[in-house]
Amino acid sequence: MPQSLKSLVQSGRLAAGTFLVEFVTPGIGHILAGAGCDFAFLDMEHSGFSTETVKSALRYLEAGGIPTLVRVPSRDAHDIARLADVGAEGVMLPLVGSLEVARAAVAALKYPPQGRRGVALQIAHDNYRAGPAAAKLAAANERTVLVLMIETAEGVEQAEAIAALEGVDALWVGHFDLSASLGIPGEFDHPAFREATRRVCAAARKHGKGLGRLVTGAEEAERAWQDGFRLLAWGGDAWLLQAAVAEGVGRLRGIARG
């Protein structure tokens, strides 16, 4: 049986996945499983994926045994709840910079008494199965995973308070947005970026929360591991395909040149 997303987040061991922003074909779950992925990071913020597309994609990924974290396109309660209702095991919020936003996210994702999510049963999120309502709400609260993205200077300042909040399972460093917020876009070796990363990592460790980020190369991955990140997404579908095809095409042109 595949691990749940929550068990991956809480394990403290490496959970290796990848970022999906372009391709969610019916075979994607089996493709990622064959590649050895532990999870998928499915993006709605930058992809243009609709809720209906995500609802299908979650079933494709489930078929391959791939737990999936969905980045919602906003921090609005109705987006969070809707994605959970269509079957997202984990929800990620972008640009979280305050404790108020974090609390609202917990309330939107969790059913009473933990939150205020509207109740709809025997739909996608509970596999259309009948059962006692109280047990279903408790099971959903236990199963769902909330990951908050720290990707602004404000978020770094509030990282410890956010990490301490019950219902938050992990912090995820949005490295490009964070570097831009700090006024050093793309300068991931800059002391200001390194200090911001250190503070977020320390906050997560102090409160026993997971730590995630996206990496695009071996050196970056090694540093992230040393920093304490255990949820690591290796590149993204469009970039990985382009890089692989570019390498192959380059070799063909080299052969043709003799």
Catalytic positions, written as ranges = 46
Question: Please, are residues 168 and 9 in contact by the beta-carbon 8 Å criterion?
Answer: no
- Beta carbons of 160 and 170 less than 8 angstroms apart: no
Among candidates 93, 121, 118, 196, which has minimal Cα distance to 153? Answer: 196
Sign of CA dihedral 42, 47, 53, 57: negative
For residue 188, CA distances in Å to 150, 162, 209 come to 15, 23, 23
Report which of 160, 168, 162, 151 is spatially closest to residue 214, judged by C-alpha positions.
151
Q: What are phi and psi of 19, to 5 degrees?
A: -105, 130
Q: Quote the CA–CA distance of 8 and 145 in Å, as a whole number.
A: 10
**For the residues of 139-199, what is the DSSP string, one character each?**
HHHHH-EEEEEE-SHHHHHTHHHHHTSTT--EEEE-HHHHHHHTT-TT-TTSHHHHHHHHH
What's the rounded Cα separation, in Å, for the pair 149 and 251?
Answer: 39
Q: Calculate the alpha carbon distances from 158 to 101, 150, 196 in Å.
A: 11, 9, 11
